[in-house]
Amino acid sequence: MDLRSIAGHALPPVRGVGCASFTVAMVAGAELHMRAAPSRSPAVYDRWLRAWARGVLRIFGVRLTLEGTAPPPARGARLVVCNHRSPVDILVLLSLFGGRILSRADLARWPIVGAAARQAGTIFVDRESEASGARAIRTVRRHLAAGSTISVFPEGATYPGDEVRAFRPGAFLPLRGLDVELFPVGLAYPPGTEFWQESFVKHVSRVATQPATQIVVCCGAGWVPEGGARKLAEEAQAEVQALTERARRRFDAL
């Protein structure tokens, strides 16, 4: 991981250096652990990845509150679908579910999160390119067929507020013919802290300069999807909208 992508970029020095040092230590620890247990490398890596995401959230002062029960361990392949309000969403989902993230292609070039996303095996997609979209669908499908967890943001972009925009059916195309659990999640942020019409650096700097940022996470019940991609997109959007509203009610009660 490129430390130059982590330590600078207008971050508060303590949090920037802390994030870089913590990441170096976690990467080294994960590599040593995987060498010691090569037969369990995927599970070992996933455990370290989730611990790394939780640690970075703590360093940046992000506090997660779970509304309802924690997500149960996956029994097989799982597609996590969530509303998208900030780059921090990526760390939130990695901390809870591990696995891989399907994300916009330009995230690979973003400081901090971009370096971390590449290290975590993020699947990047250029939503303006049909070829890139087709490759991403094939890649997601391959990982799901192998029993992995993939997290996606089917809105296709970040938005302010609690309204969950229409989910893109393409996010659900990889499910066809596979035994996959569809798992919905809703997030609620403090009003005005979402990533919206500002640069990535400005957004991360703004989050990092706050003493604490509270996020409420509401996990639904997973189900085995049936039907075509458009039907699944509509069903998942409705479920994530309900979970987001439930998360907001909990947030307001804190």
- Does residue 16 lie within any of the structural domains? no
Closest CA to 49 of 185, 149, 124: 149
- Does residue 121 lie within any of the structural domains? yes
Q: What is the model's pLDDT at position 45? A: 81
Looking at every residue in the chain, the average pLDDT score rounds to 85
- Does residue 224 lie within any of the structural domains? yes
The domain in which residue 162 lies consists of 61-253
pLDDT tens per residue, range 176-233: 999 999 999 999 998 877 766 666 667 767 776 777 889 999 999 999 999 999 999 9
- Does residue 135 lie within any of the structural domains? yes
Residue 165 pLDDT level (bands cut at 50, 70, 90): very high
- Does residue 45 lie within any of the structural domains? no
Q: Which residues pair with 102 in a beta bridge?
A: 123
- Does residue 25 lie within any of the structural domains? no
- Does residue 14 lie within any of the structural domains? no
Q: What is the model's pLDDT at position 8? A: 40
Q: What is the model's pLDDT at position 48? A: 86
Contacts of 215 (CB under 8 A, 6+ apart): 62, 63, 64, 65, 88, 92, 187, 188, 189
Cα(145)–Cα(68) distance, rounded to whole angstroms?
30
Look at the chain and report how many structural domains it folds into. 1
pLDDT tens per residue, range 87-118: 889 889 999 999 998 877 776 776 555 666 67
- Across 47-51, 55-59, 78-82, 159-163, the highest mean pLDDT is recorded for 78-82
Contacts of 202 (CB under 8 A, 6+ apart): 10
CB 224 within 8 Å of CB 187: no
- Does residue 44 lie within any of the structural domains? no
Sign of CA dihedral 119, 120, 126, 130: positive
